[in-house]
Amino acid sequence: MSNVKILVVEEDDTNLLTLEAALFNLGYADWLHADSSEAALEIIKSNKPDVILMDISIKGNLDGIGFAKAIKHLGVPVIFITGFDDAETHRKAKVVNPNAYLVKPFNNLTLETAIDAATRSFVETVSTTEENFESPPSDVILKDCIFIKNGTSLQKVLFADILWIKSEGNYSIIYTEQKKFAIRISLSRILERLPDVMFVRVHKRYSVQIALIDRIDTFYKELYIGKNNIPIGRTYKEQLLTFLNKI
């Protein structure tokens, strides 16, 4: 079980139960809950957490963004968890430089990666300040592969081994035959760096390796890679079929 101390700031009971279940399944046992900025502040004063999972819409004098700004001097990593995915909210949240911005719904892998990255980043920042250690490098995209940050090392993943990529807020989940990886970069940013002759976007949240498509069901608007079905977005259907007609 993880010994990371987590403060969850969430006012909606349904969302709280979902988050509780996710934390339990991931092995996080030490966490507290607050539904308002005032309650959250009291908990932080008496029991400083290692990381805060913060909904943007909370009760109290401050919303999640305002509260994150007010406690920034304490140095506690903040992960925003929100249903808002509009540009204006992103812009406001960016000002306080959160460790992650997760848009509901998200999967457990994304949450675990965000918490791990936030706590690791905090430890590395302290270590660098106190002992002048260098932090490990971030994810690196090269000509035919991507090196994904994993603790103090980088894991090489060949483009040819990527089955598909799924967007999860400001994270992307890379799926391979053996494993999946979460990296803190948007799907649009990744696609800018990947060979456009290898990957095609088929949905707002999905991009697939073209050569691995086994079947396309135009009626149900989905495609198959092996036994895995991927949805095809309405606005991407014609783009996909036109692209396939060219090769």
Chain segment 75-111, per-residue pLDDT in tens: 788 999 888 778 888 888 888 888 888 888 888 888 8
In this predicted model, what pLDDT tens digit does every residue of 178-229 receive, in sequence order? 888 888 788 888 888 888 788 999 999 999 999 999 999 888 889 999 989 9
* Contacts (Cβ under 8 Å, ≥6 apart) of 187: 165, 166, 167, 172, 201, 205, 207
Q: Is the dihedral of CA 53, 56, 60, 61 positive or negative?
A: positive
Min mean pLDDT across 27-36, 169-178, 216-225 is at 169-178
- Residue matched to tokens 């390796």: 209
Nearest residue to 18 via CA among 77, 106, 103, 84: 106
CB 191, CB 207: distance < 8 Å: yes
Query: H or E segment at 67?
Result: helix 64-70
Instruction: Say how far apart CA 176 and CA 145 lie, in whole Å.
Output: 13
Kindly report the CA angle at 241 between 236 and 242, in degrees rounded to 5? 100
Domains of the chain, CATH where assigned = 6-131 (3.40.50.2300), 161-245 (2.40.50.1020)
Kindly report the CA angle at 82 between 112 and 207, in degrees rounded to 5? 65
Residue 123 has pLDDT above 70, yes or no: no
* Helix, coil or strand: residue 224: strand
Instruction: Say how far apart CA 41 and CA 75 lie, in whole Å.
Output: 14
> Rounded to the nearest 10 degrees, how much is the dihedral formed by the CA atoms of 180, 185, 188, 193?
-80
Nearest residue to 242 via CA among 202, 182, 184: 202
